[in-house]
Amino acid sequence: MWYGLPANFEEGVGKDPAPMRVLLMSLIPLICLYCILEPKRIIALIRSASPLLGIVCLCVFLSISLSVNVGSSLRSFLAVALLTVGPIFYRARYGSVETFEGLAKFAIAAAFINILYTAAFPQFAVMRGSYAGMVKGAFYHKNMLGQFSTTNFILLLPFKSGPRLRYFDLLRWTAMLLYLILIVLAKSSTAVVLLSIGVAVFYGMNVVQRFPGRLFRSFVVLLGFALLGFLVSVALMGVAQAVAESFGKDLTLSGRTNVWEQLLPLISERPLSGWGFALFRQPEIMEQYVRLTWDAQSTHNTYIELALNMGIPATVIWTSFVVTRLLGKMTSSPANQLVAIARRKEIVIILLILIGAFTEAGMMLAPFILWPHTVIALSGLGPEFASRFRKPTQIGKQHASG
């Protein structure tokens, strides 16, 4: 989120990246301090990493070395690395339950911030030009606000229900209502569809986790994917069309196919290493290779963007890792109820990122607002990892974290 972003892209008003760079650089001494204080945890974390991630890292370094603009790729890699290491360390230290509780508190604060920002600075928060009347809040684009609101709505679904209503529960439900309002004000049809899918998967996985046997759960998950595919291709597309029409849009992807037609041939020119890590996230590169009647500053497809940036093999390996991790989480059934609820939220976040990546750029391996959420959700650390390095007294207090 950012103060003072342009509300009309056609004016060509840029933004000063210096404040965000300072915030990112401030993470370096904190990460170094953590490594000094927790060396054993860091070593165990590296040993537990998937081999696929090591291969992806090698491919990223190869793409950087062969990048058309090495400096730009290096800066982008540093930004992604800093936004990756911090959430991973936090998850390794406190476990999934406490990490998601922290994200929920951030989500509550962000909901009120965006509402207050929109009321205080409508000249920045409400878009103009071709997007006139659509609210983007404190974000760069209204689609970012929609995706952020959808994910945080899922995060705020209750961990547990008690007989007494707490003040935190009131804040949580109020924030969820505000996120629904923000989605409507943003007029993001994609966010509405993703929210429907996310809520259905969240409560559907509650049923799947109760089935005995991992093999049977795997069969149920595969059957669920087949059913979801049928609903998306038949019923859900009709719902999506109705939602889009209610926002004054259609399902022609807002000219995205015209962008993809010009980008796909570029992949075949450098299929192995790509053009350079994060290179096609730069507006000047898009202006050089994409010719349209309107200014296309994004690939509008994360998978195409990844293939352009680091090559087809790395994109396939990375996507395979994400899908494999998703299936592994969907077929697991944690005994602890709080860990099981956190696992369902991980599943929904990964699934929404995979689906949203088809029509939006920068959803993975990019300094995007939801990248820390994705990193935490993709983590394969079990409940025992966070408690492995704790003292016995700490384990007794935090046995529910995973």
Give CA separation, 382 vs 122, 244, 322, 351, in Å: 44, 40, 17, 20
Pick from 181, 149, 100, 168: which is nearest to 1 by CA?
Answer: 149
H helix runs in 121-188, sequence order: 122-125, 142-155, 167-186
Contact 317, 55 (CB under 8 A): yes
Claim: this prediction has a pTM higher than 0.95:
no
Q: Which residues of 224-243 are buried (b: 16+ CB within 10 A; e: fewer)?
A: beeebeeeeeeebeeebeeb
At 98, which helix (H) or strand (E)?
helix 70-120
Q: How confident is the model at residue 302 (pLDDT cuts 50, 70, 90)?
A: very high
Supply the pLDDT for residue 19: 79
Is 308's pLDDT higher than 80?
A: yes
At 240, which helix (H) or strand (E)?
helix 237-246
Supply the pLDDT for residue 197: 86
Give CA separation, 153 vs 97, 156, 209, 296, in Å: 17, 5, 22, 30
Q: How confident is the model at residue 254 (pLDDT cuts 50, 70, 90)?
A: low
Question: How high is the mean pLDDT of the chain?
Answer: 84
Average pLDDT of the residues in 319-336? 89
Please give the residue that has the higher pLDDT: either 171 or 229: 171
Supply the pLDDT for residue 100: 94
Q: How confident is the model at residue 167 (pLDDT cuts 50, 70, 90)?
A: confident
Tokens of 333: 């059934």
Q: Cα 278–258–237 angle (5° rounding)?
A: 100
Is 364's pLDDT higher than 90?
A: yes
CA distance 168 to 200: 25
Supply the pLDDT for residue 239: 54
Please give the residue that has the higher pLDDT: either 310 or 244: 310
Tens digit of pLDDT for each residue in 116-148?
999 999 999 999 887 888 999 999 888 899 999
